[in-house]
Amino acid sequence: MLLRPEPLRHAPYADGPPEFAIGLKPIAPEAWLEGGEPDPAARKDPLFAAARPLVWGEAEGSRPGQQEVLELISAVTPVEPRPDLPPLYAAARAVADDLCLMEKRGEAWTLTAVSLSAGSFFTAAEALGRRLDQLHAPVPGFEDRFGPRVQRMFDNLPEPAILERRNWTVVNSGALHAPDIAAIRAEIPAIAPHEAADRLHLRIERQTLRRLPRTGGVLFTIRIWTHPLAALRDSPDHLAAFARAWRAAPEAFRAYKQLALYDALVEAFLRAEGE
């Protein structure tokens, strides 16, 4: 089934010039998961069957935490009972979001189970078993500026709190499952400037964080919303905010996300729209 997200539900580019930041804000419990995909299992099951190492992984000893994730998800949406499947995957089939179980192994918060059907340029096999600092090794400044704070946040997150953060990038694909960014970017030279509106996509990530009260783990959810740049035409405010954020993005951010690859196409789109 084709996923049709609502137009421009989130506009993180409107928060100002993009930067690397923790940016976590508390949200109300009823705002936890956003729904809007009628049958996530129809999208996730074929990947689970055919590309398992890209989209699924579990470490030994993670089943109690996975079971708790299943209970949390079951409390907010109906979950088809599937005792034949690992509990975290049974839960993930019921929601549009990807689910990451973080547990403390020794001193370090570690990814112990993951259902990653809409991975943004990484795979479950690469991420499973990695600590927070290892997961973020490519992120400029993460280790020095954020690492200890994020670790403390995972340590101290109070049970009822749910936190949210968002980020955005531009990519020449609207596919949710995007494990291989090199293959996607190889197509850029074939895109004509007048095609930019339809072939370049805003890829917006909404993440949430909450404590698992019984096992003490943390559930990290990732929801991807993609929109062709053309969706910005619906709103002059969004278009202007995106243009400002694109042009003000600091060099480290541009380099990390390789935005220079898209400069000519994005500028062609913005100019055609009067920006």
Give residues in contact with ligand HEM (CB under 6 A).
20, 22, 24, 100, 102, 111, 122, 127, 135-136, 138-139, 150, 153, 167, 209, 220
Q: Is 124 exposed, middle or buried (0-12, 13-18, 19+ CB in 10 A)?
A: buried
Question: Please, which residue, 90 or 114, has the CB nearer to ligand HEM?
Answer: 114
Between 22 and 31, whose beta carbon lies closer to ligand HEM?
22
φ, ψ of residue 12 in degrees (nearest 5): -65, -25
**Is residue 268 within 8 Å of 170, Cβ to Cβ?**
no
Q: How far is the CB of 258 from ligand HEM (least distance, A)?
A: 11
Q: How far is the CB of 24 from ligand HEM (least distance, A)?
A: 6
CB distance 243 to 262 below 8 Å:
no
CB nearer to ligand HEM: pick between 8 and 24? 24
- 241 SS3 class: helix
In terms of CB distance, is 184 or 191 closer to ligand HEM?
184
Q: 232: which residues sit within 8 A by CB, 6+ positions away?
A: 8, 202, 238, 239, 242, 273
Nearer of residues 24 and 108 to ligand HEM, judged by Cβ: 24
| Least distance CB 137 / ligand HEM (angstroms) | 7
The nearer residue to ligand HEM, 115 or 172, going by C-beta atoms, is 115
DSSP assignment of 95-155: SSSEEEEEEEETTEEEEEEEE-TT-BS--HHHHTT-BHHHHTTTSTTIIIIIHHHHHHHHH
As measured in angstroms, the least distance from the Cβ of 274 to ligand HEM is 29
Quote the least distance from Cβ 81 to ligand HEM, whole Å: 27
CA distance from start to end of the chain: 35
Tokens read off for 147: 């690492």
Cβ at position 273, least distance to ligand HEM in Å: 26
Nearer to ligand HEM, 127 or 230 (CB): 127
Q: How far is the CB of 150 from ligand HEM (least distance, A)?
A: 5
Beta-strand relationship, 98-105 and 108-115: antiparallel
Indicate the residue type of 274. G
In the structure, how many helices (H) and strands (E) does the chain have?
A: 12, 7
